[in-house]
Amino acid sequence: MQYNNLGKTGLPISRLSFGSWITFGNQIENNISERLMDIAYDQGVNFFDNAETYADGESERVMGDILSKKSWSRDSYIVSSKVFFGAGAKVPTQKGLHRKHIIEACNQALERLKVDYLDLYFCHRPDKSTPIEETVWSMHQLIMQGKILYWGTSEWSAQEIMEAHMVAKQYNLIGPVMEQPQYNMLTRHKFEVEFSQVYKTVGLGTTIWSPLASGLLTGKYNDGVPKGSRLDRDELSWLNEIIINKSNIEKVKKLGTFAKELGTSLPLLAIAWCLKNPNVSTVILGATKEQQLIENLKALQVEPMLTEDVMQEIETILDNKPQHPPF
């Protein structure tokens, strides 16, 4: 395994990590979840991603049960949670980024994950009804209490991230150090253009999700949505409508052919392409089967194959390179 520092921090994070969205406490049995975490950890993965809203908290309970059974030293792995949506929120105070929910959600995540502190704590979405100042203060207080080590954002805009940094600087607080955005061959603009100045100024660690575009970049949706697949799930119908279209399917088919010519698979090519971007701290992998995870962890071996000429060939197929402003 190879490691990057998380943004401008000194925290070494494995370039490939493992996440539990959709799967833990939902799509797969708990014994499979444990086996997948074993495989990841044994391969040098040190970051395990989670959130309060995944399976309404059950995902964190499953991961916590697994972690509590392991003899892994607590200083050998990084675990995260995210706050915003709540864990099956039923009343207004159980969601959002106001101080009450941030504090309560952190305490609940610690209990479910069975750890004394969270390494990374993400604001899962921006909260338009709470002043960013309140959110920054709350996160700073959790760090001062030793309940979290670093805080960051997920699916925030560059403007919102910079506003959080301005608040932190004004009051001498600890600002956000990482963002968890979607990034893959088919979703590029925010990561490559909008965040470009954030990387250069305050710095930004990134823990990217959906490197395979929810499975589209495996080729399994080339002939429709298979029964029981991720995009066949009712709760992901919105994602289905966004990413499955004729243009994307044509690109995926061409990429699949190109991957074979290179002597690799489409999923490995897609993950390696993400790794190639120097602003990617870690690529979060998901899996439902052992062999799937074992195979995708080989992406680091494919990355050296992505020469300048190969990357240009990929750009020609994708035909979606974001345009930077002319200033």
pLDDT of the residue at 325: 78
Q: How far apart (Å, rounded) are the C-alpha atoms in residues 127 and 134? A: 11
How far from the centroid of its chain's Cα atoms is residue 12's Cα?
16
Average pLDDT over residues 189-211: 97
Q: Of 46-50, 227-231, 288-292, where does mean pLDDT reach its minimum?
A: 227-231
Q: Which of 82, 98, 85 is nearest to 131 (CA)?
A: 98
Instruction: Examine residue 246 and state whether it is found in any structural domain, yes or no.
Output: no
Number of domains in the chain: 1
Phi, psi of 206 (to 5 degrees): -130, 135
233, part of any domain: no
**pLDDT tens digits, residue range 183-192?**
999 999 999 9
Decide if 200 is inside a domain: yes
30 lies in a domain? yes
By C-alpha distance, which of 272, 289, 288, 214 is closest to 244? 214
Q: 10 Å Cβ neighbour count for 219?
A: 19
| Angle subtended by helix axes 99-113 and 58-69, to nearest 10 | 40
Phi, psi (deg, nearest 5) at residue 272: -60, -35
Residue 209 lies in a domain: yes
Cα distance between residue 185 and residue 212, in whole Å: 8
- Known catalytic residue: 54? yes
More confident residue, 26 or 11: 11
pLDDT, tens digit, for every residue of 141-183? 999 999 999 999 999 999 999 999 999 999 999 999 999 999 9
**What was the pLDDT predicted at 118?**
98
C-alpha 226/C-alpha 65 separation (Å) is: 32
For a pLDDT cut of 90, what percent of the chain falls above it? Answer: 86
Question: Given a cut of 80, is residue 242 above it in pLDDT?
Answer: no
Report whether pLDDT(291) > 90.
yes
Assess if residue 155 is contained within a domain. Answer: yes
Domain of 143, CATH number, reads 3.20.20.100
Whether 241 has a pLDDT exceeding 80, the answer reads: no
Question: Mind listing the pLDDT tens digit for each residue in 63-83?
Answer: 999 999 999 999 999 999 999
Mean pLDDT calculated for residue range 202-227 = 90
Q: What is the pTM of this model?
A: 0.94
SS3 content of the chain, % helix, strand, coil (to 5): 50, 15, 35
Out of 41, 54, 117, 150, pick the active-site residue. Answer: 54
What is the rounded average pLDDT of the residues 87-99?
95
- Backbone φ/ψ region at 228: left (φ over 0), alpha (ψ -120 to 50), beta: left
Q: So what's the pLDDT on residue 327?
A: 64
Asked if residue 237 belongs to a domain, the reply is no
Q: Confirm if 18 and 293 have CB atoms less than 8 A apart.
A: yes
Q: How far does the chain reach from its first CA to its final CA, in angstroms?
A: 38
Residue 24 pLDDT: 84
Domain span holding position 28: 3-215+275-306
Average pLDDT for the chain:
94
| The predicted structure's pLDDT at residue 25 | 81
Asked if pLDDT for residue 230 goes beyond 70, the answer is no
The DSSP bridge partners found for residue 151 are 121
User: How would residue 229 be classed by pLDDT, with cut points 50, 70 and 90?
Assistant: low
Take residue 144 and report the two structure tokens written for it. Answer: 């001062």
pLDDT at 237 over 70: no
Residue 268 lies in a domain: no
Taking residues 270-298, report their average pLDDT.
97
pLDDT by residue (tens digit) across 12-40?
999 999 999 988 888 889 999 999 999 99
